[in-house]
């Protein structure tokens, strides 16, 4: 007679939680020969998350998306990243992804880049590749300009087209009202309009000194006066209501406001969590959706195994 023996549960898959990003400063320089713009930007991961599950599959790559109408097609950065790591690492296994979106899409919050970063790290685990961080960062840069930052998260200055990172100190927690619009903006379209509006500004690293000092000191009042985004002008031309949305955050009591990335999401900086909730209550009507979220947080975190 055989007694039933509890078998150890085999890890079935991997579950990653990945954070959105915000740009506290986004200075846009010259357009390069490859079509990208030289940037000088300060990025922080913000506590808005997507969840990516990945399970082993017999062959090929599959993706299901929940929580938004985002297409699960070949252009989805989860699949772009998966193809990139499979090709570079010579992996011949398959994988099946399930993406639950919590980060608004085409919002300037790096949601697609976050998903690409999560896919790279999740497959590195699932396929037990143990790739060195530099190799993962190089693959991430192939997937998109913000993907290397989303791998690590935290607080960084980025240069080049956004892929060259230098971690910088940040103290404490900053609280934001994140005002999302109903319809997204296409990054490429915003950069195109930016080019039409005049010559690029020279990028001067010392232009970030005040912002970096405020971050290091954890001082929201000082940080508020240093928030800047060169793409606002172009985004406001494409979507005139955005200027009003930014002003509304200030009128509602935010100590500073700035657009994130190529927009249309607006960020209102607040003194603390309670203040952020008060501002959110006063400002909600101009936005499709308003959230309160803090910075910085880590980029990708692995949670329980996906089943």
Active-site residue list? 21, 146
Task: Note whether 284 binds ligand C5P by CB under 6 A.
Answer: no
Q: What is the smallest separation between the CB atom of 37 and ligand C5P, expressed in angstroms?
A: 4
Least gap, CB of 110 to ligand C5P (angstroms): 8
The answer to whether residue 21 forms part of the interface with ligand C5P (CB under 6 A) is no
Using CB under 6 A, count the residues that bind ligand C5P.
11
CA distance 220 to 268: 11
144 binds ligand C5P (CB under 6 A): yes
Give Cβ neighbours of residue 90 (< 8 Å, ≥ 6 apart): none
Tell me which residue of 105, 265, 264 sits closest to 189, measured CA to CA. Answer: 264
Q: Residue 36, interface with ligand C5P (CB under 6 A)? A: yes
Stretch binding ligand C5P (CB under 6 A), from 8-16, 144-152, 267-275, 289-297? 144-152
Q: How far is the CB of 39 from ligand C5P (least distance, A)?
A: 5
Residues 6+ apart with CB under 8 A from 244: 286
Q: Is 37 near ligand C5P (CB under 6 A)?
A: yes
Q: Is the peptide bond before 170 cis (omega within 30 degrees of 0)?
A: no
Using rule CB under 6 A, residue 187 touches ligand C5P = yes
Closer by beta carbon to ligand C5P, 75 or else 90: 75
Say how far apart CA 42 and CA 258 lie, in whole Å.
13
DSSP 110-169: -HHHHHHHHHHHHHHHHTT----HHHHHHHHHHH-TTHHHHHHBSEEEEETTTTEEEE--
Tell me: does residue 145 bind ligand C5P (CB under 6 A): yes
Q: 12 vs 197, which CB is nearer to ligand C5P? A: 197
Burial class (CB in 10 A: 0-12, 13-18, 19+), 202: exposed
Answer yes or no whether residue 263 interacts with ligand C5P by CB under 6 A: no
Which residue of 30, 188, 205, 216 would you call a contact of ligand C5P, by CB under 6 A? 188
């Amino acid at each position: 007679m055989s007694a039933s023996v509890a078998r150890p549960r085999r890890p079935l898959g991997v579950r990653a939680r990945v954070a959105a990003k915000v740009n506290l400063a986004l200075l846009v320089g010259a357009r390069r020969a490859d079509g990208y713009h030289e940037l000088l930007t300060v990025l922080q991961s913000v506590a808005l998350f997507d969840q990516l599950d990945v399970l082993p599959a017999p062959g090929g790559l599959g993706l299901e998306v929940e929580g938004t109408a985002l297409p699960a097609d070949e252009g989805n950065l989860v699949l772009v990243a998966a193809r990139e790591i499979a090709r570079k690492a010579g992996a011949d296994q398959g994988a099946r992804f399930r993406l639950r979106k919590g980060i608004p899409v085409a919002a300037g919050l790096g949601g697609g880049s976050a998903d690409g970063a999560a896919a790279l790290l999740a497959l590195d685990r699932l396929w037990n590749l143990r790739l060195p961080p530099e190799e993962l960062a190089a693959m991430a840069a192939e997937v998109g300009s913000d993907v290397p930052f989303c791998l690590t998260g935290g607080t960084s200055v980025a240069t080049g087209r956004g892929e060259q990172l230098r971690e910088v100190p940040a103290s404490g927690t900053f609280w934001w009202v994140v005002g999302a619009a109903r319809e997204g903006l296409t990054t490429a379209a915003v950069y195109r309009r930016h080019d039409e509006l005049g010559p690029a500004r020279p990028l001067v690293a010392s232009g970030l000194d005040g912002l970096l000092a405020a971050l290091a000191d954890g001082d929201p009042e000082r940080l508020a006066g240093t928030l800047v985004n060169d793409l606002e002008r172009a985004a406001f031309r494409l979507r005139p209501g955005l200027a009003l949305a930014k002003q509304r955050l200030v009128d509602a009591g935010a100590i500073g406001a700035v657009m994130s990335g190529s927009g249309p999401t607006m960020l209102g900086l607040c003194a603390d969590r309670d203040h952020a909730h008060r501002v959110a209550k006063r400002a909600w009507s101009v936005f499709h959706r308003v959230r309160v979220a803090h910075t910085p947080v880590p980029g990708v975190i692995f949670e329980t195994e996906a089943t």
